[in-house]
Amino acid sequence: MTKQKQASHKKTAPRAEEPRRVRRRKFWALGMLVVAALVVIAFEVWPFGSSHSQTIANPDAPLASFFRPEVLYWRDEIEGWAREHHVNPNVIAIVIQIESCGNPNAISNAGALGLMQVMPFHFQNGENMINPDTNVARGMTVFYECLTQFAGWDLGTALACYNGGPSVTQRPFSSWANETQYYYRWATGLWSDVQNGDETSDALEDWLAAGGERLCVQAGRSQSVLATG
């Protein structure tokens, strides 16, 4: 009986080990699936994962074709500014589109200047405030302050902050000035169209109908002077 029990034990011992090996394989396979999923997520959300990833901080993202010709006039510069300031070129294009439609000489009733309509107090003494490179550099400083300090990396809120000041991020949408509410809707609409890869933009058409067309006419005139000068 003892020998039979020992023999029986020797036969069943390997079977006791088999489930552990199976479990180890299952854990290993599950681990690989988790790693693969994390890699996919990283490429989706990490700003520098893909040249075609339309994230805020991807300077290599393609510039949408639906922007007005007066904005696309600055295409090479916008792409260069995007690399310099580590931001998606469409973000710069959205601000230029809404603020000036590409008019480097634009001046608002409030005194904002240039392509990105930057207020004079954001410039250093002696700077040429309507110089496109300087204007965009100071505008991007304001934008990044809004984006990182007040908007928690939410682009719509950052651009509302850019238009209406940091206080808008602390108040409900209904209390914002009408201009800032419209600005937010146009900006987020344009950004959504960018992310969708659309060739046309309803948000842009709304902006043009609300008075943006006039800005583009003025921009075209300024660009004609630049071309002949």
- Asked if residue 147 and residue 196 are part of one domain, the reply reads yes
Q: What is the rounded CA–CA span in Å between residue 88 and residue 96? A: 13
Q: What are the pLDDT digits (tens) for 79-127? A: 999 999 999 999 999 999 999 999 999 999 999 999 999 999 999 999 9
Determine the structural domain holding residue 13 and report its residue range.
1-45
Q: Is residue 180 part of a domain?
A: yes
Q: What is the rounded CA–CA span in Å between residue 82 and residue 88? A: 6
pLDDT recorded at residue 18: 52
Q: What are the pLDDT digits (tens) for 172-225? A: 999 999 999 999 999 999 999 999 999 999 999 999 999 999 999 999 999 999
Q: Is residue 191 part of a domain?
A: yes
- Asked if residue 160 and residue 84 are part of one domain, the reply reads yes
Q: Is residue 176 part of a domain?
A: yes
Q: Is residue 57 part of a domain?
A: no
Q: Is residue 29 part of a domain?
A: yes
Domain of 94, CATH number, reads 1.10.530.10
Q: What is the rounded CA–CA span in Å between residue 186 and residue 189? A: 5
- Asked if residue 109 and residue 194 are part of one domain, the reply reads yes
Q: Is residue 196 part of a domain?
A: yes
DSSP assignments along the chain, one per residue? -HHHHHHHHHHHHHHHHHHHHHHHHHHHHHHHHHHHHHHHHHHHHSTTS-TT---TT-TTSPPPS-S-HHHHTTHHHHHHHHHHHTS-HHHHHHHHHHHTTT-TT-B-TT--BTTTTB-GGGSPTT--TT-HHHHHHHHHHHHHHIIIIISTT-HHHHHHHHHH-GGGGGS-GGGS-HHHHHHHHHHHHHHHHHHHT-SS-HHHHHHIIIIIHHHHHHHHHHHHHHHH-
Q: Is residue 58 part of a domain?
A: no
- Asked if residue 180 and residue 85 are part of one domain, the reply reads yes
- Asked if residue 148 and residue 191 are part of one domain, the reply reads yes
Note the pTM of the prediction, 2 decimals.
0.77
Number of structural domains in the chain: 2
Residue 87 makes CB contacts below 8 A (sequence gap 6+) with 56, 57, 59, 140, 143, 144
- Asked if residue 89 and residue 14 are part of one domain, the reply reads no
- Asked if residue 224 and residue 132 are part of one domain, the reply reads yes
φ/ψ bin of 114: left (φ > 0), alpha (ψ from -120 to 50), beta (otherwise): left
Establish whether 205 is a catalytic residue: no
- Asked if residue 159 and residue 74 are part of one domain, the reply reads yes
| Catalytic residue selected from 17, 44, 70, 99 | 99
Bigger pLDDT: 21 or 193?
A: 193
Mean pLDDT over 35-41 rounds to 43
- Asked if residue 94 and residue 19 are part of one domain, the reply reads no
pLDDT recorded at residue 5: 46
- Asked if residue 26 and residue 85 are part of one domain, the reply reads no
Q: Is residue 77 part of a domain?
A: yes
Please give the mean pLDDT across all residues of the chain: 86
Binning pLDDT at 50, 70 and 90, where does residue 226 land?
A: confident
Residue 209 makes CB contacts below 8 A (sequence gap 6+) with none
- Asked if residue 102 and residue 34 are part of one domain, the reply reads no
- Asked if residue 22 and residue 110 are part of one domain, the reply reads no
pLDDT recorded at residue 49: 40
